[in-house]
Structure 1
Amino acid sequence: MGGILRSVNRVLLGLAGLLLLALGLAVLVAGFDLPRHLNFALPADWPWTATDDVLLTDAERTRWRSESWWWPAVIAALSLLVILLLWWLLSQLRRRRLREVLVETGDGEGALLRGSALEKVLEAEAAGLPGVDRAAVRLTGRRTAPQAVMGLRLEPHAAPGPVLGRLTEEALEHARSSAALEQIPAEVQLRTVKHRPERAL
């Protein structure tokens, strides 16, 4: 599914880029009056042929203004476009979850380990550390160089320094050695459990 989405994303980006490039070139051809300077003729239905041509004429801009549906339709279309663009931007910024990790077997070959399996092992070991109430792990990066994004919820009186030390020396080191990796860089986000104060009667 992820491969299909990436392919669709690339196709849509390519089509959008080609459309914008064609539109920009069409405007530049008319804006710099290239047909006259370079002695070539544009097709009869070419939208812009002179330097004083505009993208939209006054008649085209005001054609539907008197219709009651015009402005609601424009606002709805622009709102939908903004929402889609924001969704696309956020999807590009979000780091994709790693599905597989390549484990070297030592004989010149390798085996594929499910990323979710390594995530669960890291979560279980991190959650078992003293001072950690809950752990969540997401693997990103490449299958030959995975990276861990970890969220730890600490107990109210836990010290972050010792927890991070044991996380590095135990959980991450065990995962690195078991997967025969040189390193597993980790980004750790810490939160503290907040208990509601009890009312004394």
Structure 2
Amino acid sequence: MGKKIALGCLGVFLIVVVGGGYIGYNTLIKPIMGSVSQLQEINEKNNQIQNQASFTPPQNMELEENQVERFVNVQKSIRTGLEDRLAEFQEKYEEISEELEGRDPSIREMMGVFGDLVQLYGDAKQIQVDALNAENFSLEEYRFVQQSFYQALGVELFQFDIDAIAKAAADGNMDFNPEDFETMQQKMDEIPERNRELVAPYTENIDEWITFAWWGL
């Protein structure tokens, strides 16, 4: 496919970070992190995830069949839970994608986008938490499976999302290290053939589920 979605929930901000380095980060993301009250609520919901174990990706970066099955179940649960608001999520996703395509957004635009993202994401977060608990996912394992799943289908997602921002804000850790992001991306770019085989049956679901991934769900 070769399709690229430059944007997991924090992806839109990485445009600024990559383009402006730490200047973009310090002038945009850091102030927002300290001012958006919903971030605390999101982090509190993440603390409701029953499996809080750390997760280390395997050296070969291969997914297990059980992981894919559990991931698919989570997507189905999110789909059901968001039934009434799915159109709103999809419309916002398309609106932002069209507005930012082929140009660098202004800081004012980025701040507006972030506010919309956090509000919608906060409303849907409990649905995701319940789905993760039903499948015994930790957030770390889920993010690994999510990233691997879509990359095996030819879709690239940025690693960072609103969960990462919320945790950083709660921990008082405002530092962002682009090298950590780049290292993770390099590892994820080496897609095992086994992963392609496991996700192949779900190709038709990608257009709907990718909306969840873009929002960080």
The two structures share one fold, judged by TM-score above 0.5: no
Give the alignment's TM-score, normalised by structure 2. Answer: 0.23
Name the TM-score, length of structure 1 as normaliser: 0.24
Structure scoring higher RCO (CA < 8 A, sep ≥ 6) equals 2
Instruction: State the structure with more CA Rg.
Output: 1
Q: Name the one with the larger helix percent.
A: 2
